[in-house]
Amino acid sequence: MEISDSLQTLYSAKIEEQDGSYHIEVPKREIVDGAVEPTEPVKVALLSHPNGGESRDVRVERGSSTGTPKRNGQSGTSSHQDPPVTEGEIRKVEIENIGDQGDGIAKVERGFVVIVPGGRVGEEPRVRIDEVKENVAFAEIA
């Protein structure tokens, strides 16, 4: 599945019916951390749960453009994708694991790995991306 560069957040949410329409709750952290602005239009994609369960991932993208996502002027069908982070960028990540060298490991869009020295499992630090390689980035807690 191609994931757009404009992806701002990815989370699971229940779809609830209220007064003849359906609603998806946006977690407060998505507003507080700046992933979603409550006054800006967003696109929401519903992805089937791999086990067929009730859970659905909700993908929110800023803006209201339509069509196939593009990258560097090419259609989204290209097999090569640039890393989803850039050097100098500051962002909040979640440390999911500890690597062999004791560094924190976070994953961002498309499962791209960010190595965070000093990161501990469960922490959600703001980090500055120091170095970006094709399949991994190195960051420092900001």
| Residue-level pLDDT at 89 | 95
**Residue 24 confidence class, pLDDT cut points 50, 70, 90:** confident
For residues 127 and 91, the answer to whether their CB atoms sit within 8 Å is: yes
Distance CA 77, CA 60 (A): 20
What is the overall mean pLDDT for the chain? Answer: 75
Sign of CA dihedral 8, 11, 85, 66: negative
Specify the higher pLDDT residue, 107 or 29. 107
C-alpha 103/C-alpha 105 separation (Å) is 6
Kindly report, residue by residue over 58-81, the tens digit of the pLDDT: 445 544 333 333 333 333 444 568
What superfamily in CATH does domain 90-141 come from?
Nucleic acid-binding proteins (2.40.50.140)
| pLDDT over threshold 80, residue 118 | yes
